[in-house]
Amino acid sequence: MSTSHSGASQPSQDRATPDSLLHARTGTDVSPEDLVLASGKDLTPRNLEWAQRKLDQEGPAALDKLLP
pLDDT in tens, 7-66: 555 555 667 666 665 555 556 688 999 999 999 999 999 999 999 999 999 998 899 888
Inter-residue contact 30 to 63 (CB < 8 Å): yes
Q: What confidence score (pLDDT) does residue 10 get?
A: 54
Q: Which 3 state secondary structure label does DSSP give 22? A: helix
Q: What confidence score (pLDDT) does residue 66 get?
A: 87
Give the tens place of pLDDT for each residue, 40-56: 999 999 999 999 999 99
- Of 65, 60, 64, 68, the C-alpha closest to 31 is 60
Inter-residue contact 67 to 24 (CB < 8 Å): yes
Q: Around Cβ 5, how many Cβ atoms within 10 Å?
A: 8
Q: What confidence score (pLDDT) does residue 29 get?
A: 85
